[in-house]
Structure 1
Amino acid sequence: MSTSQPEESRSADDRATPDALLHIHPESGVAPEDLVLATGRDITPANLEWARRKLETEGPIAIEKLLP
């Protein structure tokens, strides 16, 4: 039994987000808060520090590695 619905029966909120909208352009800047939120974590001082270190070592492309 399939749980998928035909495209025309889905609501506007139920459609997949286009890939181009999910990914950012790293040259536009990535804040530590962005990186923390992309991991699904809460914004805490420890998580922000982790994100700052990750951005320092990997650069803004770090967020692309976390997004589908």
Structure 2
Amino acid sequence: MPTSQPASGPSEDRATPDDLLHTRTGTEVSPEDLVLASGKDITPRSMEWAKRKLEAEGPAALEKMLP
């Protein structure tokens, strides 16, 4: 009796192709997004850091933090 396997879908032994990986959602990047992506807790100090970083680097600041 043959065993059935899904015709398509992710394989556990394969990496996801780069063209399927996305870090941007098409929405504006918020300071909170940046703080959370950095692994920091949301505090007044970390939010100020994120605001300054976004002003200096724009949405690319998030791209630089994520793989």
TM-score of the superposed pair, with normalisation by structure 2: 0.66
Letter in 2 for 1:7: E
How far apart in 2 are the matches of 1:23 and 1:55? 16
TM-score of the superposed pair, with normalisation by structure 1: 0.66
Identity of aligned residues (%): 62
Count of aligned positions: 56
- After superposition, the CA RMSD in angstroms is 2.7
Higher gyration radius (CA): 2
CA displacement 1:4-63 (0-9 Å, x = unmatched): xx938xxxxxxx7776455115x6210000000000000000000000000000001110
Equivalence map 1:38-57=2 (5 Å):
38-57=37-56
Q: Which structure has more helix as a fraction of its residues?
A: 1
Change (3 A) 1:22 1:41: farther
Report 1 or 2 for greater relative contact order, CA contacts < 8 Å, sequence distance ≥ 6: 1
